[in-house]
Structure 1
Amino acid sequence: MLVNTKEILLDAQKNKYAVPAFSVYNLEITQAALHVAEREQHPLILAVGERYFSTLNIEGFSSLIRTFAHNTSVPVALHLDHAYKKESILRAIRNGFSSVMFDGSSHPFDENVRLTKEMTEISHLAGISIEAEIGSLARGAFSDEEEGSGALTDPLLAAEFVKETNVDFLAAAIGTVHGLYVSKPHINLELLEQIKSKVDIPLVLHGGSDTPEEIIRKVIERGICKININTDVSVQAMTFLKNAMKAGTYLHLSNLMEDMQEVMETCMTDMVRICKGNN
C-alpha cells in the first residue's frame, strides 16, 4: 500500500526501528526492493533522486512505482531525494510522491530556513511530508551525489531549524558520507544523542552504505528512523555485471538482469533485517 512517508516514520519512531530508503532508478532495483519488503514484511521507502530526473521519464517511472506499491501488503512510500529546485518538488507532487526532501544545506542557515519553509508550505498544502537537512555529508568513493562540506549538525541549530520550518523529518550529519568511506568512519553517536534530545521529529541518516552494522544498530537505538542506501546496492550489482561480462556465460540480457536483481535483493535483505532492530 502506498502511504505518506510521515506515517511510516512516526511508527518507526514509536517502535524504535528504522525504514530503509533505497535509491531506485530502473525496473530491476525497484522490483528488488519491493520483493524484499514483501518477504520481510517491513515498511519501505523508494527514493528517486532529483539527479535522475534527466535520465528518467519521471511521469512514467512514478506511475509504475505507484502501481507496484498499491499492490504490496506492506506500507511503501515514494520519496523525492535531494531536491535543490522548487520545480522538482512541484513535479514530484504532480506525480503522486509521498514525500520530498528539499536540500538547502549548502546555503547559509537563514537562507536554508527561508527556502525550506517555503517548500514545507507547498508540500503540506499538497498533503505530503517533507525532509530537510542541517549539516552536509562529504562524498566518498563510488557516489553519484554532489560534493558536500562534511559539516556536522549543530543540535541547537537543528532545533531552531525544525521549529522555524515545520519539516516532518530531519537529516542529521553525524559523520557518515555519501558512497563508500575512503578512511575509517568516525560516526559521532554522542552528537546524535544531543540532536535527538533537542528534536522530536523522526531523524534520518544519509550515507547508510558501507557504514558498519554495529553502527547502524546503534544509530537506530539513538533515534534514527530512516536510513538511505544507494551505493552498497550499486556496488553489488556492478561487481556482478563485471564478473558476468568477464565469464561470458550470458547469452541474453533478460537472464542477466534477472540474476542481477537477485544479487541486489540479497544486499537489500541484509539492510532490512538490520533496520528491523528487535522488532
Structure 2
Amino acid sequence: MLVNLNDIMKKAIDENRIIPGFNVFGYEDAKMVIEVAESLNAPVILMTNRDAANFMDVKYYGALYGKMAHESSAPICIHLDHGKTKSEIVAAIQANYSSVMYDGSSLPLEDNIKISKEISEFCRACNVSFEVEVGCVAYSNPDIKVDEKLTEPKEVLKMYEEADVDCVAVAVGNVHRMEEKNGIIDFERLSEIKNLNSVPLVIHGSTGISDEQLIKMRYYGIGKMNIGTAVRMAFGNTLRDFLKDNPNTFDRIELVQRPMEEMRKVIEEKYKLLGWG
C-alpha cells in the first residue's frame, strides 16, 4: 500500500525502530526491498536520489514504484531524495511520490527556511510528507563539492517551528557515499538535537556507520535512515565477479539474478540493525 512518512514514522520511533529508506534505481532493487519488507511485516521507503533522477524522468519511476506499492501488503513510501528546486519537488508530487525532500543545506539558514516553508505549503495540500536538511552532510567523494556543517540543535527547532516540516536530516558525523564503516557519530550532538526537538530526525550516509552505532541510534528519535551505497556495492561487486566467471553471458535477466540475491542479504541485514525482524 502507498503511504507517506507521517503514516509510519511515529509508530516506528515509539518502538525504537528506524524505517530504512533505500535508494533504488529500477525494478530489480525495488523488488528485493519490497520482498524483504513484506517478509518482516515492515514499512519501507523507496527513494530516488539525484543520480537516478538525472538518469530517467521521475514520472517513470513514480509509475513503476506506485504500481508496486499499491499491489504490496507492506506500507511503502515513495520518496524523492535531495530535490534542489521547487520544480523538481512539484514534478515528483505529480509523479505520485508520497514524500519529498528539499535540500537547501548549502543556503544560509534563513533562506533554507524561507524556501522550505513555501514548499511545505503545497506538500500539505497534496498530503505529501516533507523532509529538509539542517546543517550539511558531507560527501566522501572529493569530486562532489560540499562543505560539512554539523547541525546546530537550535537551528533544527527554528526550521521545525517556522517551516512546518515533517522530518529533518541532520549532520552528526555521518557522510554520504562512504564505502567503509569508519564514520564517528557525535552522539552528544545527536542527543542535544533530540532533547530540544520533537521533530523526527533523518540520517543520511548510513553505509559508513558501524553496526554498533546504528543499533545505538535507534534510541535518538530517528524516523528514517537512508541506505544507498551498501546496496549499490552489493549489486556492482557481485555483477563484476559474476562476469569474471561467466564472460560469455550477455542476457540481462541472467546477469542480474545473483546481484539481486546479494542485495537482498544487505537489505535484510540493515532491517535487523534498525530493529526489524
TM-score (norm 1): 0.94
**1:88 Cα deviation (Å)?**
0.7
- Give the corresponding residue for 1:27: 27
Equivalent position SS for 1:209: helix
Is the contact between residue 105 and residue 135 of structure 1 (CA under 8 Å) also seen in structure 2?
A: yes
How do 1:130-149 and structure 2 match up within 5 A? Answer: 130-141=130-141, 146-149=144-147
| Counterpart-to-counterpart distance in 2, 1:7 and 1:25 | 24
Give the distance between the partners of 1:11 and 1:27, measured in 2 at CA.
28
- Match of 2:132, SS state, is strand
Contact map agreement 1:135 1:152 (CA 8 A) in 2? yes
Superposed, 1:1-279 pairs within 5 Å as 1-141=1-141, 146-180=144-178, 184-248=182-246, 251=249, 252-276=251-275
Q: CA deviation at 1:209?
A: 0.9
1:156 deviates by 1.0
| TM-aligned CA deviation for residue 102 of structure 1 | 0.3
Residue deviations 1:38-59 (CA, integer Å, cap 9, x gap): 1122110001124422311322
Q: Deviations over 1:151-182 (max 9, x none)?
A: 11000111111101110011111001001167
Unaligned runs of 5+ in 2: none
CA distances 1:66-93 after superposition (whole Å, capped 9, x unpaired): 1111111121100010000111110111
How far is the alpha carbon of 1:201 from its aligned partner?
1.4
Q: Is the 2:234–2:266 contact (alpha carbons within 8 Å) kept by the matching residues of 1?
A: yes
Instruction: Output the aligned Cα RMSD.
Output: 1.8
Tell me, in whole angstroms, the C-alpha distance in 1 between the residues paired with 2:50 and 2:94: 14
Q: Which runs of 5+ in 1 are unaligned?
A: none
Amino acid at match of 1:234: R
One-letter identity of the residue aligned with 2:158? E
In the TM superposition, structure 1's runs of 4+ consecutive aligned residues that sit over 4 Å from their partners are none
* Distance of aligned partners of 1:267 and 1:250 in 2 relative to their CA distance in 1, 3 Å threshold: farther
2 CA distance for matches of 1:106 and 1:193? 24
Q: In structure 1, what is the Cα distance between the partners aligned to 2:158 and 2:264?
A: 39
**Greater CA deviation, 107-116 or 254-263?**
254-263
Once residues 33 and 211 of structure 1 are traced to their aligned partners in structure 2, the CA distance between those partners, rounded to angstroms, is 20
- What's the secondary structure of 1:42's corresponding residue? coil
3-state DSSP of counterpart to 1:45? strand
CA deviation after TM superposition for structure 1 residue 32, in Å = 1.1
**Is the contact between residue 42 and residue 276 of structure 1 (CA under 8 Å) also seen in structure 2?**
no
Cα deviation per residue 1:237-279 (whole Å; 9 max; x = unaligned)? 11111111211266232111122111111111100111126x7
- Matches of 1:166 and 1:127 in 2, distance apart? 13
Name the amino acid aligned to 1:136: C
| 1:229, distance to aligned residue in structure 2 (A) | 0.4
The alignment partner of 2:223 has SS state of strand
| Shift in CA distance, 33/250, structure 1 to aligned 2, threshold 3 Å | farther
Percent of aligned pairs with the same residue? 30
